[in-house]
């Protein structure tokens, strides 16, 4: 895969670009006229001559002949490709002679006095000739000045070889014409006239014009033959000229490795990226060499294939370098089989995309043989399976060399015709440079190979089809067997996607086969079906469609509509559909360096080494801040001093809290040795045992701690805590250690031997966990301190903590750095402990009432139990889509049906809904069911549970609000009907009998939006949500909701339009709900069926039909009351906090995402 040298950019000013563009268009238009005029000449010669005379003002060949058509067409093509040779041809052959001749005639008329002689000699310029002279002078000036817009050059020797062929061809044409004039009748008299006429028609000129004027005329057919022979000579001359176009054909291993490195470092969504390593392709790199365009030159077309490779940010520069390279050599730029993303990049530089077809991609995670649509594939796979066929899926590097050689030989033997492909073919099956190529082989019962698929790598987790072959005698279905076995194996080997064949014009096949297709669509399909007799168009589409793949469009990009034919011919040649140009007309093959055995082996080893290095997952190098780097350096300081920064254990005899309590007890009145210690130990100093001493207090002295009197203190007291404050006063070092919510001051003095103060000063930072051993004492101010005699590092902190007093001020930072907030903020730690107490209280309260706790599945096949949007996931073992449960209700009811009279579950639920102060995607709920209870008994139970949780948290039945007020909860909680609460809120009576129009009017007056087809119950619920729930302060039970909003609730015993359900609301938020459970299986089935219809209509929150639950319900469920309490909501109510404060780790948006 040779690498083309990136050219330096040749830029031209905008005006020069405009001149070049319009020059090419004008000459191209004249070429079109000559083609048309060649036909019209047979029917309207007068019209053709008139138009030709007027167009002659452009100083171009305007009279039609085969020679002039070819000549002007070739020059137009050269101008459009910005060839410098075409520019000089226009200037020197067509424009400059006219300018010189017109100037000479003008000078004669200025300086020659004999005007009559000039007129007699015909040296008179007509208005058209004057205009022609003006055009010539203007063209010469403009084109010479704009020559920088024509950078395409030819190599040394191209001119004389092309001219030699052209002159020789014209000479042959003129000689043949002269000889034929001697045989066939004509009106030319004399050798001079015959020679002039022969040269004129051979060169595409009118015989009546000077300087080759001829009196008389020859046969018209002979002029046509002369033009054809000359045109053929011109074509040959141009082919020889193009053959001389230079190009770097040297193959360098380092360059191909660079391309492969880009593929590994920047994998993309383009399945064709690996084909950029074909050895007949070149690559142009961006200036930073982080992207490249892979291309091949075919018949003058610089044909790129697929998307650019490498870093997407460098694509524009790589594309610009490629276009500059093509322009430099006069090649037509075009892109084959690019994706939509690549087409957008090429479109940005004025290349025009058109659809080619679609690529079939199988997603291994979702592919399945189940379902009626896959019946044909199942049947195809079944036959080779019955015949004992087996499939091996292996990387090429895993296959023994002799077996690989046999497979390659078999693939060559099974091939029909020549190898085809360019954009989607590698053409080097079994090469050692492709160790990651996936080989899928099918073998019959005797072990003989019967089919072969090879796939090139597509990034790290994809494959793209390269070779597909089968033995002529293989049973049908062997290809389908290999594809399905590859997909099945891919799931276990990290392959997520497999690209199969490309179906050209798939959209036309599909549209034309639809019912109701337009006549044009049906005609297009019929044309393609006819073409499919010669090329595999329809068969490729059908062979891929049966796998139900994802279709990804592929496009062709071209620069100019006039070049589209040339581009299509080049594409056909590259892909093998059309024969290649003879060797005479294209440059020689590339250097075969990489094919030499010694070079090939070394290159393959280099490829393997590079892939191993780039595919090995390694941790990225962490970039440390200056402060972090300093802390990391202190690790080595500790180790050098013989102290492990992260030891297995450290001295710790008491916690910080226990040390503080001991110190407080020792300082309290009446604490002599005879007094019992609060921890039940023997009095300090009485029958002193080893490890305790009567320690006198220290004496007041400068630089020492002052302690009044003498106290009895235990010796060798060791505590461990986090350093939250440091103070160094020279002779005395103070530090505050924190453990949990307790803090103690430790100090080190220079007069005490033992502690290494120098090491402390060098190695200890805020946030470190340290162990300090010493005795308790008090300062003059009475502050308890641990006077240290030894210390060691318990765990070195490599991240600095926030300011001790300000803490984490940002709410988002508090969530992300929960560990820091918990370690440094007392209230956060208290909230965590309080939540634990509340949860424990709920569990113990239910257990005390003979409820048993169970666990039900979190992964569920059917989402039900509540109206909410679920999270979805996929289980690979069973290839099933699953839901994270939104509620455990249906499973708990099945336990109740089985005879578990009192049951509850306290666990996590998941709902894919909004996140705010009262909602989190995952939350803790309590659901409980009591046989022979109803929503009234569950209401009483709920009140008792909440009050007992409040006592567990606060020690009394109260709720602490955020503003500091305290609300008592031990009074009676109001019970109100939903309709009554709505009536009070809107100031108008609302009952189940209120007309629907009245409810809609109430909503309209109060700005509550409801859908036009909203039901009575839905509108009442909207009014409840808008005016009741959010305005409720004291805990209140709202009962008897509309039946249609409660699909799992029993119909009200007195009013069938209502449901026996209540919601508990306090301080503007719903805390829980309870039902008299619906136990009628017929009624329940009807309601869930209605819910499933809503789900099918697009309601993401509607429940699905759970047949297992309905079947269990038919086994008879006793009358039951059920409740559901949001544990997070209850605790929020008890402490007056948001849900994010009550959760240890609430969900937080990933960093860097808006």
pLDDT at 602 > cutoff 60: yes
Return the percent helix, strand and coil in the chain, to nearest 5. 45, 20, 35
SS3 assignment, position 680 = coil
Is residue 701 left, alpha or beta, with left meaning phi > 0 and alpha meaning psi from -120 to 50? beta
- 644 by Cβ neighbours in 10 Å (0-12 / 13-18 / 19+) ranks as middle
| Cβ neighbour number for residue 385 with a 10 Å cutoff | 16
**pLDDT in the model for residue 249:** 44
**pLDDT in the model for residue 1065:** 96
Report which of 272, 250, 420, 425 is spatially closest to residue 335, judged by C-alpha positions. 272
Averaged over 21-31, what is the pLDDT?
82
Contacts for 891 with CB less than 8 Å, ≥ 6 apart? 856, 857
Instruction: State how far the Cα of 664 lies from the Cα of 778, in Å rounded to an integer.
Output: 10
Contact 204, 191 (CB under 8 A): no
CATH no. of 830-974+1034-1142:
3.30.930.10
The position carrying tokens 């309709």 is 979
Least confident window among 493-507, 707-721, 866-880: 707-721
**pLDDT in the model for residue 693:** 34
**pLDDT in the model for residue 584:** 47
* DSSP track, 453-515: EEEEEETTTEEEEEEEEE-TTSPTTHHHHHHHHHHHHHHHTT--EEEEEEEETHHHHHHHHST
**What is the tens place of the pLDDT at every residue in 480-490?**
999 999 998 88
Give whole-number Cα distances, 195 to 214, 218, 222, 852, in Å: 8, 11, 14, 118
Least confident window among 97-101, 394-398, 796-800: 97-101
**What is the tens place of the pLDDT at every residue in 655-682?**
999 999 988 887 766 554 334 434 333 3
At residue 457, φ and ψ (nearest 5 deg) are -65, 145
Gyration radius (Cα) of the chain, Å: 46
How do beta strands 742-749 and 784-795 pair? Answer: parallel
Give whole-number Cα distances, 879 to 96, 380, 548, 910, 1127, in Å: 77, 22, 17, 22, 34
Enclosing H/E stretch for 945 = helix 935-954
- 247 by Cβ neighbours in 10 Å (0-12 / 13-18 / 19+) ranks as middle
Contact 66, 224 (CB under 8 A): yes
Report which of 85, 34, 84 is spatially closest to residue 58, judged by C-alpha positions. 34
**pLDDT in the model for residue 529:** 64
Whether domain 358-559 has CATH 3.40.630.30: yes
Contact 1106, 1084 (CB under 8 A): no
Question: Residues comprising the binding site?
Answer: 1063, 1070
Token pair in block for residue 708: 């009044």
Token pair in block for residue 1073: 């709900």
Q: Chain-wide mean pLDDT for the chain? A: 81
The position carrying tokens 């090329």 is 535
Report which of 654, 709, 723, 712 is spatially closest to residue 683, judged by C-alpha positions. 712
Q: Where residue 96 falls among pLDDT bands split at 50, 70, 90?
A: confident
Q: Where residue 1080 falls among pLDDT bands split at 50, 70, 90?
A: very high
Report which of 753, 761, 825 is spatially closest to residue 790, judged by C-alpha positions. 753
Contacts for 1097 with CB less than 8 Å, ≥ 6 apart? none
- 622 by Cβ neighbours in 10 Å (0-12 / 13-18 / 19+) ranks as exposed
Averaged over 1071-1093, what is the pLDDT?
88
**pLDDT in the model for residue 989:** 94
At residue 904, φ and ψ (nearest 5 deg) are -150, 160
**Every domain of the chain and the residues it spans:** 14-243, 245-350+560-591, 358-559, 627-666+709-801, 830-974+1034-1142
- 753 by Cβ neighbours in 10 Å (0-12 / 13-18 / 19+) ranks as exposed
Angle made by CA atoms 281, 283, 288, in degrees to the nearest 5: 165
Averaged over 934-948, what is the pLDDT?
96
Contacts for 206 with CB less than 8 Å, ≥ 6 apart? 63, 200
| Cβ neighbour number for residue 689 with a 10 Å cutoff | 8
Going 702 to 706 to 710 to 713, the CA torsion angle's sign is negative
pLDDT at 1003 > cutoff 90: yes
pLDDT at 347 > cutoff 50: yes
Give whole-number Cα distances, 655 to 714, 737, 741, 801, 838, in Å: 14, 11, 11, 22, 25
**What is the tens place of the pLDDT at every residue in 171-182?**
888 888 788 777
| Cβ neighbour number for residue 1065 with a 10 Å cutoff | 27
* DSSP track, 265-299: HS--S-TTGGGGG-TT-EEEE-TTSSEEEEEEEET
**pLDDT in the model for residue 235:** 67
Contact 1017, 1005 (CB under 8 A): no
Contact 427, 275 (CB under 8 A): no
Report which of 268, 336, 261, 346 is spatially closest to residue 298, judged by C-alpha positions. 336
Least confident window among 166-170, 303-307, 1019-1023: 166-170
Contact 99, 137 (CB under 8 A): yes
Report which of 502, 578, 17, 575 is spatially closest to residue 303, judged by C-alpha positions. 575
Question: Residues comprising the binding site for Mg(2+)?
Answer: 1063, 1070
Architecture of domain 627-666+709-801: Beta Barrel (2.40)
Chain centroid to Cα 639, Å, comes to 46
Angle made by CA atoms 489, 495, 496, in degrees to the nearest 5: 115
More confident residue, 949 or 268: 949
Buried b (16+ CB within 10 A) or exposed e, 646-670: eeeebbbebbbebbbbbbeebeeee
SS3 assignment, position 4 = coil
Instruction: State how far the Cα of 525 lies from the Cα of 516, in Å rounded to an integer.
Output: 14
**pLDDT in the model for residue 875:** 83
Contacts for 114 with CB less than 8 Å, ≥ 6 apart? none
- 147 by Cβ neighbours in 10 Å (0-12 / 13-18 / 19+) ranks as middle
Averaged over 850-860, what is the pLDDT?
94
Peptide linkage before 211 cis (omega within 30 of 0):
yes
Instruction: State how far the Cα of 645 lies from the Cα of 764, in Å rounded to an integer.
Output: 10
Enclosing H/E stretch for 848 = helix 826-848
How do beta strands 975-977 and 1036-1042 pair? Answer: parallel
pLDDT at 746 > cutoff 90: yes
**pLDDT in the model for residue 686:** 34
**pLDDT in the model for residue 710:** 38
Contact 70, 239 (CB under 8 A): no
Contacts for 957 with CB less than 8 Å, ≥ 6 apart? 947, 950, 951, 968, 969, 970
Domains 627-666+709-801 and 830-974+1034-1142 share a fold: no
Averaged over 558-579, what is the pLDDT?
79
Instruction: State how far the Cα of 1139 lies from the Cα of 1127, in Å rounded to an integer.
Output: 10
pLDDT at 84 > cutoff 80: no
The position carrying tokens 């409810």 is 999
pLDDT at 691 > cutoff 50: no
Instruction: State how far the Cα of 395 lies from the Cα of 430, in Å rounded to an integer.
Output: 11
Contacts for 670 with CB less than 8 Å, ≥ 6 apart? none
**pLDDT in the model for residue 1040:** 96
pLDDT at 159 > cutoff 70: no
What is the widest separation between alpha-carbon atoms in the chain?
154
pLDDT at 870 > cutoff 80: yes
**What is the tens place of the pLDDT at every residue in 191-222?**
777 777 877 777 776 676 666 677 777 777 77
Contact 458, 276 (CB under 8 A): no
Report which of 968, 1016, 971 is spatially closest to residue 991, judged by C-alpha positions. 1016
Report which of 446, 459, 538, 546 is spatially closest to residue 495, judged by C-alpha positions. 459
pLDDT at 421 > cutoff 90: no
Angle made by CA atoms 589, 594, 599, in degrees to the nearest 5: 150
More confident residue, 274 or 329: 274
pLDDT at 5 > cutoff 60: no
SS3 assignment, position 683 = coil
């Amino acid at each position: 895969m040779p690498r083309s040298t990136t050219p330096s950019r040749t830029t031209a000013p905008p005006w020069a670009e405009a001149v070049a563009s319009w020059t090419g268009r004008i000459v191209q238009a004249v070429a079109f006229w000559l083609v048309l005029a060649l036909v019209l000449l047979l029917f309207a010669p007068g019209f053709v001559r008139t138009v030709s005379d007027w167009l002659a003002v452009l100083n171009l060949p305007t009279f039609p002949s085969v020679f002039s058509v070819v000549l002007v067409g070739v020059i137009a093509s050269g101008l459009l490709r910005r060839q410098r040779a075409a520019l000089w041809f226009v200037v020197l052959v067509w424009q400059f002679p006219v300018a010189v001749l017109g100037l000479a005639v003008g000078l004669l008329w200025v300086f020659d006095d004999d005007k009559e002689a000039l007129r007699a000699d015909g040296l008179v310029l007509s208005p058209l000739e004057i205009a022609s002279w003006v055009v010539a002078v203007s063209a010469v000036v403009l084109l010479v000045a704009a020559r920088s817009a024509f950078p395409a050059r030819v190599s040394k020797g191209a001119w004389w070889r092309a001219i030699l062929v052209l002159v020789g061809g014209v000479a042959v044409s003129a000689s043949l014409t002269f000889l034929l004039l001697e045989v066939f009748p004509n009106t030319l008299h004399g050798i001079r006239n015959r020679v002039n006429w022969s040269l004129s028609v051979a060169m595409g000129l009118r015989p009546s014009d000077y300087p080759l004027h001829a009196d008389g005329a020859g046969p018209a057919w002979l002029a046509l033959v002369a033009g054809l022979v000359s045109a053929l000579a011109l074509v040959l001359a141009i082919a020889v000229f193009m053959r001389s176009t230079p190009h770097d054909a040297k193959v360098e291993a380092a360059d191909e490795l660079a391309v492969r490195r880009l593929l590994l470092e920047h994998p993309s969504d383009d399945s064709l990226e690996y084909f950029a390593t074909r050895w007949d392709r070149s690559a142009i790199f961006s200036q930073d060499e982080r992207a490249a365009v892979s291309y091949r030159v075919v018949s003058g077309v610089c044909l790129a294939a697929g998307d650019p490779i490498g870093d997407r940010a460098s694509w524009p520069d790589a594309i610009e370098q490629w276009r500059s390279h093509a322009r430099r050599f006069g090649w037509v730029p075009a892109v084959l089989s690019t994706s939509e993303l690549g087409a957008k990049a090429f479109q940005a530089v004025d290349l025009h995309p058109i659809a080619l077809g679609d690529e079939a991609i199988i997603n291994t995670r979702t592919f399945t043989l189940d379902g009626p649509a896959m019946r044909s594939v199942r049947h195809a796979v079944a036959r080779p399976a019955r015949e004992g066929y087996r499939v091996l899926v292996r990387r090429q590097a895993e296959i023994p060399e002799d077996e690989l050689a046999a497979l390659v030989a078999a693939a060559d033997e099974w091939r029909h015709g020549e190898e085809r492909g360019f954009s989607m073919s590698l053409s080097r099956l079994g090469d050692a440079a492709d160790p990651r190529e996936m080989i899928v082989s099918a073998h019959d019962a005797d072990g003989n190979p019967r089919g072969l698929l090879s796939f090139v790598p597509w990034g790290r987790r994809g494959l793209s089809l390269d070779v597909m072959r089968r033995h002529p005698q293989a049973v049908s279905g062997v290809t389908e067997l290999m594809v399905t076995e590859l997909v099945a194996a891919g799931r276990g080997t990290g392959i997520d996607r497999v690209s199969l064949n490309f179906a050209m014009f798939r959209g036309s096949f599909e549209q034309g086969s639809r019912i109701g297709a337009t006549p044009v669509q049906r005609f297009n399909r019929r044309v393609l079906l006819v073409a499919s007799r010669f090329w595999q168009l329809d068969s490729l589409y059908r062979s891929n469609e049966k796998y139900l793949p994802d279709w990804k469009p592929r496009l062709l990009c071209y620069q100019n509509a006039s070049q589209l034919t040339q581009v299509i011919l080049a594409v056909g040649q590259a892909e093998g559909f059309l024969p290649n140009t003879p060797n005479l007309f294209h440059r020689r093959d590339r250097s075969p360096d990489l094919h030499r055995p010694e070079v090939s082996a070394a290159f393959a080893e280099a490829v393997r080494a590079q892939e191993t290095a780039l595919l090995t997952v390694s941790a990225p190098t962490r970039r440390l801040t200056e402060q972090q780097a300093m802390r990391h350096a202190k690790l080595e300081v500790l180790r050098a001093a013989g102290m492990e920064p992260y030891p297995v254990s450290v001295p710790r005899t008491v916690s910080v809290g226990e040390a503080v309590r001991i110190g407080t007890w020792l300082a309290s009145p009446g604490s002599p040795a005879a007094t019992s210690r609060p921890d039940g130990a023997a009095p300090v100093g009485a029958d002193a045992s080893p490890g305790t001493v009567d320690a006198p207090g220290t004496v007041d002295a400068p630089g020492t701690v002052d302690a009044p009197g003498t106290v009895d203190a235990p010796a060798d007291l060791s505590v461990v805590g986090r350093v939250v404050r440091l103070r160094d006063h020279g002779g005395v070092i103070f530090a505050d250690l924190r453990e949990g919510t307790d803090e103690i001051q430790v100090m080190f003095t220079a007069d005490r031997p033992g502690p290494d103060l120098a090491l402390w000063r060098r190695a200890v930072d805020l946030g470190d966990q340290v162990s300090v051993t010493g005795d308790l004492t008090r300062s003059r101010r009475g502050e308890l301190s641990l006077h240290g005699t030894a210390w060691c590092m318990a765990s070195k902190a490599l991240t600095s903590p926030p300011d001790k007093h300000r803490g984490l001020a940002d709410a988002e930072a508090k969530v992300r750095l929960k560990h820091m907030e918990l370690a440094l903020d007392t209230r956060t730690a208290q909230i965590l402990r309080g939540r634990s107490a509340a949860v424990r209280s709920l569990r113990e309260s239910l257990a005390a009432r003979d409820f048993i706790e169970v666990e039900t599945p979190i992964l569920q096949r059917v989402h039900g139990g509540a109206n909410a949007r679920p999270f979805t996931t996929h289980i690979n073992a069973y290839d099933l889509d699953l839901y994270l449960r939104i509620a455990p209700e249906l499973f708990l009811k099945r336990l109740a049906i089985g005879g578990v009279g009192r049951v509850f579950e306290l666990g996590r639920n998941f709902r894919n809904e909004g996140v705010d102060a009262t909602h989190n995607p995952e939350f803790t709920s309590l659901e409980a069911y009591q046989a022979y209870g109803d929503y009234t008994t569950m209401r009483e139970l709920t009140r008792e549970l909440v009050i007992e949780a409040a006592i567990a948290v606060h020690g009394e039945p109260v709720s602490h609000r955020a503003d500091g007020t305290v609300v008592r909860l031990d009074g009676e909680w109001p019970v109100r009907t939903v309709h009554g609460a709505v009536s009070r809120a809107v100031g108008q009576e609302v009952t189940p009998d209120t007309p629907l129009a009245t409810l809609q009017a109430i909503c309209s007056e109060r700005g509550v939006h409801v859908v036009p087809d909203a039901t009575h119950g839905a509108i009442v619920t909207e009014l409840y949500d808008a005016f009741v729930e959010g305005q409720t302060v004291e805990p209140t039970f709202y009962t008897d909701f509309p039946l249609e909003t409660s699909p799992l609730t029993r119909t009200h015993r007195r009013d069938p339009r209502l449901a026996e359900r209540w919601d508990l609301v306090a301080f503007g938020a719903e805390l829980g709900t309870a039902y008299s459970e619906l136990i009628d299986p017929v009624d329940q089935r009807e309601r869930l069926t209605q819910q499933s219809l809503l789900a099918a209509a697009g309601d993401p929150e509607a429940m699905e039909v759970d047949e297992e639950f309905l079947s269990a319900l038919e086994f008879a469920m006793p009358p039951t009351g059920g409740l559901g309490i949001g544990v997070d909501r209850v605790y929020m109510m008890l402490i007056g906090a948001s849900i994010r404060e009550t959760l240890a780790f609430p969900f937080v948006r990933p960093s860097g995402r808006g």
